[in-house]
Amino acid sequence: MKNCFFLEALKSFCPSIAYLYISDIGFSTQLLELIGNLQKLQFLSLCCHADGDIPEELEIRVMQFAENLPLTLQYLDLVNEWLKTYILLNHCKAPLKKLLINHLNYEKHTKALIEFCVRNKAFNYVDVYRYSDLDENFRKEVEAHVTNVALVPWTRIVVAARRSHAKPGTDDELYKCKIGPRGIE
C-alpha cells in the first residue's frame, strides 16, 4: 500500500525525472506504468523483489517493462537475481548505452546480448555484478560478434552527471559518479 502512494506521487508530481534510484520495491504493474511514463528518464537504477510471483506472469511483466522503457533511457541498472536478462534484452527498444546486470552466463543471455548489440549501435558497456561468474567461452563469443561493447565488472563504470546548481561551462558543472549495486557512490 505504501509503495502505491509513493509511485502515484512520483507519477503525479515528478514527471520530468532524469535520474531515478528505487530499491526494495515489488516488481509491480504500477512500477512498470510509472517508469513507462517518465519520458525524460535517462538513468534508472532499480532493485526489485519478485517474491511469490508466478514465473509466467513475471516473464510477461519483464517483457512489458522492456518494451515500455523510455526512449530517453541511456543507463539501466538491474541487479536482480530473478531477472531473466534475455527477455529484457530481446524486447528492449530503449537506446541504452550502459547496462548493469547481475549475471550473464547462459547461452540464452549470450544470444540476446549479441542481438541487442547489433540492434543498438549506441550500446557500449555491459557491467556485470557477478563478473567472476562470466564463463571465458561466453566472453569470447560476445567479443567475436560484437566490437562496440565492453564487458566489465560493475566497479568499473563511471557516469558523468550534471550538478543542478553549477554554472554552465564551469569545471563544477560535470562530475563523475561511480555506479554500483547500491546506486551512486
Instruction: Give yes or no for a contact between 83 and 52, defined as CB atoms under 8 angstroms apart.
Output: no
Instruction: Give yes or no for a contact between 60 and 90, defined as CB atoms under 8 angstroms apart.
Output: no
Confidence bin at 156 (pLDDT 50/70/90): low
User: Could you tell me the three cell numbers for 137?
Assistant: 567461452
pLDDT digits (tens, 9 = 90+) for 12-55: 888 889 999 988 888 888 899 999 999 999 999 988 888 777 88
142 has pLDDT over 70: yes
Region of 52 on the Ramachandran plot (φ > 0 left; ψ -120 to 50 alpha; else beta): left
Confidence bin at 126 (pLDDT 50/70/90): confident
Domains of the chain: 15-156 (3.80.10.10)
Whole-angstrom distance, CA of residue 37 vs CA of residue 20: 13
pLDDT digits (tens, 9 = 90+) for 96-118: 998 888 767 677 888 888 899 88
128 has pLDDT over 90: no
Instruction: Give yes or no for a contact between 143 and 116, defined as CB atoms under 8 angstroms apart.
Output: no
Confidence bin at 132 (pLDDT 50/70/90): low
pLDDT digits (tens, 9 = 90+) for 49-65: 887 778 888 899 999 99
Among candidates 85, 137, 71, 73, which has minimal Cα distance to 115? 85
pLDDT given at position 182? 41
User: Could you tell me the three cell numbers for 17?
Assistant: 525525472
Q: Tally the C-alpha atoms within 13 A of residue 123's C-alpha that lie toward its C-beta.
A: 24
Q: Would you list the DSSP string of the chain? A: -HHHHHHHHHHHH-TT-SEEEEEEEE--HHHHHHHHH-TT--EEEEEEE-TT--HHHHHHHHHHHHHTS-TT--EEEE--TT--HHHHHHH--S--SEEEES---SHHHHHHHHHHHHH-TT--EEEETTGGG--HHHHHHHHHH-SS-EEEEGGG-EEEEE-TTSPTTSTTSEEEEEEETTEE-
CB atoms within 10 A of CB 172: 11
pLDDT given at position 41? 95
Length of the chain: 185
Stronger pLDDT, 175 or 67, i.e. the higher one:
67
